[in-house]
């Protein structure tokens, strides 16, 4: 904390591309509020690409969700084309004129002691402008991709400290030349409330599901993109045959929600289709299996609840490593076409099968439910170290 007794300031930077960056920042901030030191800390949140950044950079970032909703998506090609140490350095140089003025304003307004970047495209910008403005700010990058990390996260080792979500991510950061002492494996920060159900039947009944029937939860990520509509049509006969209750969360994709609502009868009775909801944890506690794309947030939240996952799709590049992450921990199954999904459902929900129970236990063992708290505690320790370094200097020069 500042030695003069003033509040320490933490600036969280993110952008609403996907559902995970803002959620991670908010989870860390909420964890900070629970610590004894919270009263001495001010936090500020900025959606950096919505805060006055001029075209075309803002429009390019904002198109992320739209690119994922079309098939085939152009996003994987963009990801791979930009994923290189030199390539991203060039992109960063080209983008700086569009972001410089807005970044200067936000940094001058907050003059943060710690800047926490929770988006890959912001790290280099933040480092260069903190230095150009001669701010005494520590830059912390919180990486929200589980395994496969784009070079933008690690470009020029811009951050002073890195909080990473897995051992695999830590190893990759070190391989790219970041000193091991600056890379901290805390897990992926997730929201409060993700914990195993005390009673599975009660969790189902609380949401209006039949407590005696298995529940399949289906999610397509925050943007509700990909091939979810086609997949559900293909597996509908199997779902009816197995007698599953189905809950589909379509996220921000209202078009998909309306289409699936009209087709809900094909999945049988007990089917519910909803859009973006705040009580995902309740749905996960009520479910026996999560059918989802391989998004890092969904994987981490499901593990904290002890919910096995069936991964039907991934974003090429950033989510490819998530498939191995899940299977290596025994927390789920990968099935990348409709036939494989059908076979997995038939096997997992077969009478007398114990496979789901085993995966539930392994999912819980792989969980990192306290990651947000651990990162918050780390930020407090950074502030305390900064204060300790400044105090002797003040005493020597009254």
pLDDT score at 86? 81
| Range of 72-81, 82-91, 118-127, 341-350 with top mean pLDDT | 341-350
Q: What is the pLDDT of residues 226-252, one digit of tens each?
A: 688 889 999 999 999 999 999 999 887
pLDDT score at 394? 47
3-class DSSP state of 319: coil
Distance CA 221, CA 211 (A): 26
Q: Of 378, 313, 388, which Cα lies nearest the Cα of 163?
A: 378
Residue range 1-22: mean pLDDT, rounded: 79
Q: What is the pLDDT of residues 332-341, one digit of tens each?
A: 999 999 999 9
Whole-structure pTM value: 0.89
pLDDT score at 227? 81
Distance CA 249, CA 261 (A): 11
Q: Give residue 262's pLDDT band: very low, low, confident or very high (50, 70, 90).
A: confident
3-class DSSP state of 318: coil
Distance CA 177, CA 182 (A): 11
Q: What is the pLDDT of residues 376-397, one digit of tens each?
A: 999 999 999 988 877 654 444 4
Q: Please give the span between the terminal C-alpha atoms of the chain, in angstroms, as a whole number.
A: 19
pLDDT score at 56? 53
pLDDT score at 181? 97
* Assigned token pair, 24: 């991670």
Angstrom distances, CA of residue 390 to CA of 6, 161, 174, 393 = 13, 19, 30, 5
Domains along the sequence of the chain with CATH: 8-190+369-396 (3.40.50.2000), 200-366 (3.40.50.2000)
Q: Give residue 398's pLDDT band: very low, low, confident or very high (50, 70, 90).
A: very low
3-class DSSP state of 272: strand
Q: Give residue 263's pLDDT band: very low, low, confident or very high (50, 70, 90).
A: confident
Q: Which of 15-19, 87-91, 342-346 has the lowest mean pLDDT?
A: 15-19
Residue range 348-376: mean pLDDT, rounded: 95
Torsion over CA: 283, 332, 376, 43 (sign) = negative
Percent of the chain with pLDDT over 70: 89
pLDDT score at 60? 53
Q: What is the pLDDT of residues 279-313, one digit of tens each?
A: 999 999 999 999 999 999 999 999 999 999 999 99
Strands 114-117 and 138-142: parallel
pLDDT score at 253? 82
Q: Are 138 and 161 in contact (CB under 8 A)?
A: yes
Helices (H), the chain: 20-33, 57-62, 64-69, 75-82, 85-110, 123-132, 151-154, 167-175, 200-206, 228-242, 254-262, 280-286, 296-305, 320-328, 338-348, 355-366, 371-396
Q: What is the pLDDT of residues 22-45, one digit of tens each?
A: 899 999 999 999 999 999 999 999
Neighbours of 149 (CB within 10 A): 24
CA atoms in the 13 A half-sphere facing the CB of 40:
16
Q: What is the pLDDT of residues 101-123, one digit of tens each?
A: 888 888 998 899 999 999 988 88
Opening angle at CA 105, ends 104 and 106, nearest 5: 95
Q: What is the pLDDT of residues 131-190, one digit of tens each?
A: 999 999 999 999 999 999 999 999 989 999 999 999 999 999 999 999 999 999 999 999
pLDDT score at 395? 45
Q: Does the pLDDT at position 217 exceed 90? A: yes
């Amino acid at each position: 904390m500042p030695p003069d007794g003033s509040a320490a300031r933490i600036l969280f930077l993110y952008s609403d591309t996907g559902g995970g960056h803002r959620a991670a920042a908010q989870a860390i901030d909420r964890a900070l509020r629970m610590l004894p030191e919270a009263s001495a800390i001010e936090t500020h949140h900025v959606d950096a690409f919505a805060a006055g950044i001029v075209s075309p950079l803002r429009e390019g970032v904002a198109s992320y969700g739209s690119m994922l909703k079309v098939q085939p998506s152009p996003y994987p090609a963009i990801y791979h084309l930009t994923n290189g140490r030199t390539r991203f350095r060039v992109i960063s140089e080209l983008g700086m004129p569009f972001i410089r003025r807005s970044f200067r304003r936000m940094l001058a307004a907050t003059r943060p002691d710690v800047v926490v970047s929770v988006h890959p495209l912001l790290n280099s910008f933040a480092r260069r402008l903190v230095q150009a403005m001669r701010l005494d700010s520590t830059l912390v990058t919180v990486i929200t991709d589980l395994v496969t990390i784009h070079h933008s996260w690690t470009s020029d080792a811009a951050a002073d400290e890195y909080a990473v979500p897995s051992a695999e991510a830590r190893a990759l950061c070190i391989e790219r030349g970041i000193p091991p002492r600056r890379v901290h494996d805390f897990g992926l920060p997730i929201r409060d409330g993700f914990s195993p159900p005390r009673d599975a039947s009660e969790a189902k009944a609380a949401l209006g599901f039949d407590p005696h029937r298995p529940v399949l939860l289906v999610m397509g990520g925050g943007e509700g993109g990909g091939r979810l509509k086609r997949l559900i049509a293909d597996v509908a006969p199997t779902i009816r045959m197995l007698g599953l209750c189905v809950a589909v969360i379509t996220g921000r994709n209202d078009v998909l929600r309306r289409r699936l609502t009209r087709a809900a009868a094909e999945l049988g009775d007990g089917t519910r289709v909803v859009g973006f909801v705040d009580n995902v944890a309740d749905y996960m506690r009520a479910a026996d299996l999560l059918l989802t794309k391989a998004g890092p947030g969904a994987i981490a939240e499901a593990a904290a609840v002890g919910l096995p996952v069936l991964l039907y799709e991934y974003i090429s590049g950033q989510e490819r490593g998530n498939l191995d992450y899940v299977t290596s921990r025994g927390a789920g199954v990968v099935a990348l076409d409709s036939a494989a999904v059908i076979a997995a459902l038939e096997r997992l929900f077969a009478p007398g099968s114990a496979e789901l129970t085993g995966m539930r236990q392994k999912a819980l063992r792989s969980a990192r439910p306290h990651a947000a708290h651990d990162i918050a505690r780390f930020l407090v320790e950074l502030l305390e170290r900064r204060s300790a370094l400044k105090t002797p200097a003040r005493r020597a020069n009254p």
